[in-house]
Amino acid sequence: MFEQRYAILREDYANAGKASSAIKSALKQLGIAPDILRRIAVACYEAEINLIIHSYGGEILMNIDEENSKVILSFNDTGPGIPDMEKALTPGFSTASATAREFGFGAGMGLPNIKRVSDEFDVVSSSEGTHLKIGFYV
């Protein structure tokens, strides 16, 4: 199994999307089909932005499970968590700060888009942090 880790810092808008771009490049070099690569890039970018906007910092972990032909992306952060998961999964619902909105983020489409484009979607959240795991069959 192939694995890469990317650290994501709180409110690091200047580097928003860099980890997602690196993941996309690595997967492109491995020959992932363009349609699957597009879905992975969308989900990864949305989740990375959520880490920057809403968490106290975290990490992206990319695994390639060759045995099951799957790319697995895990997004793990520290607090404050998602207080209402049902609302967070509702398109257009956002708790983004004014700063995030000034940078053009916070439309409330992150989790709904991630769920829509992923083959597997699992999210668990508490006041200690959020753990999102998504999978793509390749």
Q: Provide the whole-model pTM.
A: 0.91
Q: What CATH number is associated with residue 81?
A: 3.30.565.10
pLDDT at 86: 92
Amino acid at 122: D
Which tokens sit at 3? 């694995």
Length of the chain counted residue by residue: 138
Write the pLDDT tens digit of every residue in 49-90.
999 999 999 999 999 998 889 999 999 999 899 999 999 888
Closest CA to 38 of 122, 116, 111: 116
| The total number of structural domains that make up the chain | 1
Q: Domain span at residue 98?
A: 2-137
Task: Give Cα 122 to chain centroid, integer Å.
Answer: 12
Mean pLDDT within 87-110: 82
| Neighbouring C-beta atoms of residue 51, cutoff 10 Å | 26
Report the candidate in 51, 35, 65 with the shortest Cα–Cα distance to residue 135.
65
**Which strand (E) or helix (H) includes residue 85?**
helix 85-88
The interaxial angle of helices 110-117 and 34-54, nearest 10 deg, is 150
